[in-house]
Amino acid sequence: MSMKTWCLLSLPVLLLLSIAPTEAEVVQPMSDCKGFLLDENTPQIPGILVDGEIQDQNRYKAICQTYNDERRFVTLYDTTNRIPVFSAYKYKGENKGTPRPSWKIEPQLEDPNGDKNMQGSELDHYEHQASNKDYDDEKDYDRGHLFPRSFAYSEDDKISTFTLTNIVPQAKNFNQVSWVNMEKCLRCILLRFCKNSNNIPEGYVVTGAQPGTGKLKERVNIPSVLWSAFCCYNNGRNRWIANSFWGNNVQASPDNKIHTSPLQDPIGNQQYEFFPGSQCPVDTTADQTIRQIKHNCPCPP
């Protein structure tokens, strides 16, 4: 399903999409969506994604995010909490231009016949994913990107990030201050230090969320923690560099600072393996690797 057809659809259109020939979007296994994971190895997410296998295939869905018939990134989506577990993408450099298209959903996550409350154009909510209605008039939480549009390479890549399957409720202050500062740091590192042996920008990033106890509109889980990890080859130093960042998804307080750590360190209350089977260093941070180089990346201490 090309994202150009993703929109907040009425029931008749959803029914039409369910029988029309389309490009597969929700994939199984996740390895069917290639090009966005380092060495094509999936992260290890305890109890959710283990050795490339989705543990509960009824609840967690792999989405090969597609726009204009081209695959842009991959998301593992939690249809119970109605938030992504993570989005993964390949950094290819950046171009100017940040369009703000309308938000979209993924029709293939829905079974219109399974929700009798879906009534044509009055359809406000979806059974298996968040909708715009869940975020309307929300004063405390933003639509927080996991794959941020500012990291996307082309205009179409940027547009592709505007799907609600790439979004979590993020505390406004945390999103607009702490997290955006982390993204500026990470963008700087990716742009200046992540180049392959052909001197082409290239880095792999996985960004996700740990579910919390609260809900938005009594439907969409509010994550307790957001995290992001990257790994890339640095041709200038002939070595791989990697790092993880995480923070508590809370409003302004001493608890919403950004933590930076080696890949092997636990995040929140979880232990992840972001780039299994790779050459990514797990016991050093990117800063420890490149600190000898004078750089002005605005990174947290």
Look up the CATH number of the domain holding residue 249: 3.40.570.10
Full domain range(s) for residue 203 = 3-106+126-290
The structural domain count of the chain equals 1
d(CA 52, CA 18): 28
91 located within any domain: yes
Compute mean pLDDT per 10 residues along the chain, 301 residues long, and list them.
Answer: 44 36 64 94 96 95 94 96 98 80 89 37 72 93 96 92 96 94 93 91 97 96 97 92 94 81 92 96 84 71 65
301 located within any domain: no
Task: Give me the pLDDT at residue 172, please.
Answer: 95
Task: Give me the pLDDT at residue 255, please.
Answer: 67
135 located within any domain: yes
36 located within any domain: yes
121 located within any domain: no
114 located within any domain: no
* Full-model pTM: 0.87
Task: Give me the pLDDT at residue 143, please.
Answer: 96
25 located within any domain: yes
Cβ–Cβ contacts within 10 Å for residue 232, how many? 25
Structure tokens, 50: 């283990």
Cβ partners under 8 Å of residue 89, min gap 6: 36, 72, 73, 74, 147, 151, 152, 204, 205
117 located within any domain: no
